[in-house]
Chain A
Amino acid sequence: MPLFEAKNICAGYGDVMIVNDVSLSVSNGDLVAIVGPNGSGKSTLLKSLLGLAHLFSGQVLYRERDITRIAPWQAVEVGLGYVPQVNNVFTNLTVNENLEMGAYHRHDKAGIRSDLEEMYQRFPELAARKKARAETLSGGERQLLAIARAMMARPRLLLLDEPLAFLSPKASEVVLNRLLQIQAEGTSLLLVEQNTIKALQNASYGYILNEGRCVMEGKGPQLLADGSLRERFLGLGKEV
């Protein structure tokens, strides 16, 4: 049984349909990547799954439970975490308060305390800045805080919108490694990413979007090895 399924999603903003009939599935422990050129509808697809973009039609299932058109704040209770591409921290709150907000729907105080400690161990960069306002963090630190904030909800599936965008190569490496560690510990990841090579190299499964439609799907490294796809949709050369 898949952990998460989206069937025949048509989504967009206002009257404009950007995503057209896209289906995807995430199994337990998977890292699923959605890649494609700029403007292919990747982020809109992700947002529509959480109620942040208009869903014209389609069905969203979490463990076979229909969660289509769920309110964004209820998605957390279901088990979905979300890390937006930009504006992904509460800038006027401290690092610690950002993490506390991640556990907003939880009421187990002892569990929240121990998860906070765990996050600081897992993200030592944040431990040093506990009381700093999030607006003072670097881009990489903000991305780590955004991921840690989402993890405080104990999600079973984390949806990430271009987590490696706008980061230095070093910061991007750090963020990717932390994500792989989170996946190894049992949280599934659904990743929208511009950095096609890094995403597909690490993905158990990948979807390639172009002009709002899924043009190809398959195991990550296999997609990357397909010469014609590399040239037509991914903007990469023929050689790996």
Chain B
Amino acid sequence: MFDIGQILVNSVVTSSLYLLAGTGLTLTYGLSRFPNFAYAEFITLGAFCGLFFLAKPDGVFFLALIVAFLVAGFVSASSYTLVFRPLVERKTSLIHLMVASIALGYVLRHSMGESWGWSAQAYQIMWPVYNIGNVRITGLWIILIATAVLTAVALHFFLTRTRAGKAIRAIASNPDLASVTGINRQKVVLLTWFFGAGLAGVAGVFRAADTRLFPMLGWDILLPIFAVTILGGIGSFYGLIIAALLLGLAENFGVVLLSGLGLSTEYRMAIAFLILIGVLIIRPKGLAR
């Protein structure tokens, strides 16, 4: 028997993870105009950075989040500077950029696999569990939800109140006009690649803490993250918030439906596929457009 309160909590947890992981993807996709498949590896890299701090039960979780943010952000900014920027400047086609991102992702994924091992590992940190009525919630989930909400509020103020935030929206809206308006596009794009992937790294730590840690961690959740990004409208942060909530609800209620139909909950990921295909057919520009 499923408890509706528990499904809602699970949905918010899933949504929070997708929001954290999807923010960087939607912002960088909006600015650079190509889907970066290596983004999955920034999530995984964050998760492996967390292992340095959380391999023992007395690890400091917040330190893991900060280091994951910085390392994932740095690798992302470096990959933009060394791989993608030269290609963009040569006016490389979208398909070539996509293939380059898949190739970079492959290199990063296998480097992580060779460095940290291919088998699943787990953080050793333990989380308190709270039971409110029939609803079970862990300390990790509370921190995850709080981090996602705080990030959303902070990003709202950043994008609407600050010079750099407005510049990001301006470039996403009209890149050529942004340039002739005096905005140094490369600088803003680089900053976005850093912060976006930083958040992906943070999402990776949460994902690994909630499940297991392995080199395919990011790749496994890349599809729902792309689904959320496309559902929300590429480049739209507010669309992303709504889309993350919708997909979180759809996945968790979908699991209940699958069980009811006697199907394996392994089909859970197929829900993201179905929603992605449905949105591409009905509203190719997403909910926010």
Contacts and interface: CB of A to CB of B under 8 A. Distances in A.
Whether both chains belong to one complex is answered with: yes
Interface of A: 50, 52, 71-73, 75-77, 82, 84, 87-93, 97, 100-102, 104-105, 149-150, 153
Interface string B166-192: 110110111011111111110000000
Highest count of chain A CB atoms <10 Å: which of B170, B177, B179, B183: B177
Highest count of chain A CB atoms <10 Å: which of B170, B181, B183: B181
Contacts of B167: 101, 104
A92 B169 CA distance: 8
Contacts, number: 69
Interface of B: 163, 166-167, 169-170, 172-174, 176-185
Given A73-B184, A73-B185, A101 B170 contact: yes
A62 B276 CA distance: 52
B180 A93 contact: no
Contacts of A89: 174, 177
Contacts of A97: 166, 169-170
A89 B185 CA distance: 16
23 contacts: A50-B180, A72-B179, A73-B179, A73-B185, A75-B180, A75-B182, A84-B177, A87-B174, A88-B177, A89-B177, A90-B170, A90-B174, A90-B177, A90-B178, A93-B166, A93-B169, A97-B166, A101-B167, A104-B181, A104-B183, A105-B182, A153-B181, A153-B182
Q: Is the interface of B mostly helix, strand, loop or mixed?
A: helix
Contacts of A149: 181
Given A87-B176, A87-B177, A100 B166 contact: yes
B181 A102 contact: yes
A167 B181 CA distance: 23
B143 to A, nearest CB: 33
Highest count of chain A CB atoms <10 Å: which of B167, B176, B177, B182: B182
Contacts of A105: 182
A84 B177 CA distance: 8
A82 B179 CA distance: 10
Given A52-B176, A84-B176, A76 B182 contact: yes
Contacts of A76: 180-182
A93 B168 CA distance: 11
A72 B183 CA distance: 9
5 interchain residue pairs of minimum CB distance: A76-B182, A105-B182, A72-B179, A90-B173, A82-B180
A52 B180 contact: yes
A82 B177 CA distance: 9
A100 B169 CA distance: 13
Given A90-B170, A90-B174, A101 B183 contact: yes
A76 B177 CA distance: 12
